[in-house]
Amino acid sequence: MNSQPIAFIHSTARFLPERVLTNADLERMVDTNDTWIRERTGIRERRIAPDEMTAADMGARAARCALQKGGLAPSDVDVLIVTTATPDRWLPSTACDIQSRIGALDCLAFDLSAACTGFLYALTVAEGFIAAGRGETILIVSAEKMSSIVDWSDRATCILFGDGAGAAVVRPAVDGRGILSSHHLSDGNLAPLLERPAGGSAMPLTPELLASGAHLVHMEGREVFKNAVRSMAQSGFAALEAASLSSDDVDIMVPHQANIRVIESTAKYSGIPMEKVYVTVDRYGNISSATIPVALDEAVEEGRMGPGSVVLMTAFGAGLTWGAVAMRW
Ligand SMILES: CC(C)(COP(=O)(O)OP(=O)(O)OC[C@H]1O[C@@H](n2cnc3c(N)ncnc32)[C@H](O)[C@@H]1OP(=O)(O)O)[C@@H](O)C(=O)NCCC(=O)NCCS
């Protein structure tokens, strides 16, 4: 536990594209139905970005807004960390693309790859920069255009994901508010459960691979589900224990939003009632690493959390990666 928190979230923002893709729309695209999707996932609709809008475009909008809400200028940013499973391109990083768009030219910018867990890993990295005295304003941007890597003919995956971006400005802690503890792990042996097999250096794209869809998201849904619940609950407990807190102390849980059944099972194992859990999955589906910053921004706006609230964030994703962060808001 940090006896005194080192870093806290100074401001947040979100950007969701306007276009809504409903379950009824999906019924016209693949062999599925609204009842199945709602009962198995809790998702009613998700947002889809227009073709010309990239992950960096969405991230830049959220980033500008987070800085503005925090009373900061782009020139104040010391470090820009971008988490994304859908970079605009492989080289250079999407962080450099966002840096250029927002004009934060006096900082170092890099992408952090941890799939849906990215935002929580980034929070801990940001805390490390501050602890080391290597920056005072760390901008985290989680931007995802999942619609660009989903196989729209695979009903088991295409119903799950959506597009959007969230941003958070991390600054040195004040008045005992900030990150209390974190717990992160990964297990590369489980990589085949959720991957995009082709398109990297291991399997460079060929016309045949492209035609087979091997560059798109492939997932063993049931196995991912089991691991997700176990790992999020485990990390949540570890983070609480490290902060000398119990589940009763948690005012609000903000979990990664992949599936309402994963969220409900994790909350149950963690001993946290659903009234204390913030849910967006019904409206946005799984926006990968953007789910938590988007949810934080909404929860604050709705008055579900505020200064002093004990917030438990938990996430899991491809890798597999997972983690939890406990924070006094
Ligand atoms: C993907 C997921 C919703 C599937 O739900 P499930 O209850 O595990 O369903 P199954 O995969 O066992 O499939 C059950 C049946 O539904 C069918 N099915 C799958 N997708 C369907 C859809 N969109 N509509 C209708 N039926 C569907 C399957 O084909 C299967 O049919 P069968 O029994 O005739 O073979 C669920 O496993 C899940 O959410 N896993 C976690 C995924 C996740 O969170 N990934 C992101 C990680 S960050």
User: What is the predicted pLDDT for the residue at 2?
Assistant: 53
Ligand 1 pocket: which of 113, 117, 218, 259 to mutate (most atoms <8 Å of CB)?
259
Cα 274 to middle of ligand 1, angstroms = 23
Would you call 256 a catalytic residue per the annotation?
yes
Distance CA 285, CA 45 (A): 7
Would you call 2 a catalytic residue per the annotation?
no
User: What is the predicted pLDDT for the residue at 3?
Assistant: 65
User: What is the predicted pLDDT for the residue at 145?
Assistant: 98
pLDDT tens digit at each of 329 positions of the chain: 556 899 999 999 999 999 999 999 999 999 999 999 999 999 999 999 999 999 999 999 999 999 999 999 999 999 999 999 999 999 999 999 999 999 999 999 999 999 999 999 999 999 999 999 999 999 999 999 999 999 999 999 999 999 999 999 999 998 899 999 999 999 999 999 999 999 999 999 999 999 999 999 999 999 999 999 999 999 999 999 999 999 999 999 999 999 999 999 999 999 999 999 999 999 999 999 999 999 999 999 999 999 999 999 999 999 999 999 999 99
Domain positions in the chain? 7-175, 179-328
Would you call 158 a catalytic residue per the annotation?
no
Distance set, CA 90 to CA 80, 182, 262, 300 (Å): 18, 30, 31, 34
Burial of residue 32 (CB within 10 Å: 0-12, 13-18, 19+) is middle
Distance CA 257, CA 161 (A): 10
Q: Which atom of ligand 1 is nearest to the CA of 256?
A: 48
Ligand 1 pocket: which of 35, 154, 222, 223 to mutate (most atoms <8 Å of CB)?
222
Q: Do the domains at 7-175 and 179-328 have one common CATH topology?
A: yes
User: What is the predicted pLDDT for the residue at 156?
Assistant: 94
Show the ligand 1 pocket: residues with CB < 6 angstroms: 32, 36-37, 40-41, 116, 155-156, 159, 194, 219, 221-222, 224-225, 228, 258-259, 262, 286, 317
Torsion of CA 189, 190, 195, 198, to 10 degrees: 30
Q: Whose CA is nearest to atom 48 of ligand 1?
A: 317
Q: Whose CA is nearest to atom 41 of ligand 1?
A: 225
Distance CA 66, CA 46 (A): 23
Q: Whose CA is nearest to atom 7 of ligand 1?
A: 40
Cα 316 to middle of ligand 1, angstroms = 18
User: What is the predicted pLDDT for the residue at 117?
Assistant: 98
Active-site residue, selected from the candidate residues 65, 96, 116, 158 = 116
User: The pTM is what?
Assistant: 0.96
Q: Which atom of ligand 1 is nearest to the CA of 159?
A: 23
CATH placement of domain 179-328:
3.40.47.10
- Classify the C-alpha dihedral 298-26-194-228 as positive or negative: positive
User: Could you tell me the CATH superfamily of domain 7-175?
Assistant: Thiolase/Chalcone synthase (3.40.47.10)
Q: Whose CA is nearest to atom 10 of ligand 1?
A: 222
Distance set, CA 314 to CA 75, 77, 233, 324 (Å): 31, 26, 8, 4
What token pair was written down for 72? 């900061």
User: What is the predicted pLDDT for the residue at 203?
Assistant: 95
